[in-house]
Amino acid sequence: MHRIGVSQCPDVGAPSPGDAAGADEGGADRDGLRDGRPRMPLRPHPTRKEKSHMEPFFREAGTGPGVVCLHSNASTSGQWRGLMDLLAPRFRVFAPDSYDAGKSPHWPSDRVIHLRDEVGLIEPVLTRAGSPLALVGHSYGAAVALIAALIDRSRVRAMALYEPTLFALLGAEVPAPNEAEGIRNVIAEAGIALTQETKTLRPSDSLTTGWYPGPGPGLPSNASCPSRRR
């Protein structure tokens, strides 16, 4: 049985120089989008009091050395339920929800969110996991894990990262337009579709980019996935 809860988060604080314009040591904003691209409606800058009440939702299971699992974009901590069941007999596993995901709070600012902001939200979970800990991350969560490790390398003993989305690294090698543009466009289109109340997605619908060949070996269609996984 997984334990779930929330933990008090300290003031995230002002962005560092490296955070400007979505930099974040090669990171991106919440959806990997840059200025001028579609985003969700903006919110006012949070006050210090509002920041002090930012509490991440997290799942917790098992006992032993700490492991923190960070989910991908457009997902929640629920994506790690299977892994938590496997690791719980030997590890104390945590899986927090990031901003605007699952049961964690909304990002309360008109400033573009950065990876450091996500680390600030889950800092109490990292502290609860103890040191040294292991970080597991997928896609956007893997990028957050990298920034968390850079902020405090001494507390990380191991990392397992899958498809970290540090689009700025690609942009540094291949100027836009590049492959990352397709991913950003799909994310923007999906965000717009999800905000339209009259828009519905059928189980067979999918959104893919040029990086993915579509349904096939290793990439089943949405309709073939179990409902819980879908």
**How confident is the model over 46-76, as pLDDT tens digits?**
455 445 458 899 999 999 999 999 999 889 9
Q: What is the pLDDT along the chain (230 residues), one digit of tens a residue?
A: 455 554 433 333 333 333 332 334 433 444 333 333 333 333 344 455 445 458 899 999 999 999 999 999 889 999 999 999 999 999 999 999 999 999 999 999 999 899 999 999 999 999 999 999 999 999 999 999 999 999 999 999 999 999 998 877 877 888 878 888 877 788 788 778 777 754 555 555 555 444 444 444 444 555 666 666 65
Q: Render the burial of 62-91: b for 16+ CB within 10 Å, e for the rest.
A: beebbbbbbbbbebbbbbbeebbeebbeeb
What are the tens digits of pLDDT across the range 213-229? 444 444 455 566 666 66
Q: Has residue 224 been placed in a domain? A: no
- Looking at the domain assignment, is residue 192 inside a domain? yes
Q: How many domains, in total, are found in the chain? A: 1
The answer to the question of residue 62 being in a domain is yes
In a domain, 108, yes or no: yes
Cβ–Cβ < 8 Å for 104, 57? yes
Residues 6+ apart with CB under 8 A from 41: none
In a domain, 163, yes or no: yes
The span from the CA of 3 to the CA of 60, in Å, is 5
Q: Domain range spanning residue 185? A: 3-199
pLDDT of residue 28: 40
Residue 62 makes CB contacts below 8 A (sequence gap 6+) with 84, 87, 88, 89, 90, 91, 92, 93
Q: What is the 3-state secondary structure (H, E, C) of 183-229?
A: HHHHHHHHHHHHHCCCCCCCCCCCCCCCCCCCCECCECCHHHCCCCC
What's 195's domain CATH number?
3.40.50.1820
The answer to the question of residue 215 being in a domain is no
The whole model's pTM is what? 0.66
223 found inside a domain: no
Q: Are β-strands 57-61 and 92-96 bridged in parallel, bridged antiparallel, or unpaired?
A: antiparallel
| Strand 133-138 relative to strand 156-162, pairing | parallel
pLDDT (0 to 100) of residue 42:
37
* CA separation for the pair 77, 102 (Å, rounded): 7
- So what's the pLDDT on residue 223? 61
Residue 132 lies in a domain: yes
- What is residue 10's predicted lDDT score, i.e. its pLDDT? 34
Cβ pair 139, 164 in contact under 8 A: yes
Q: What pLDDT is recorded for position 189? A: 83
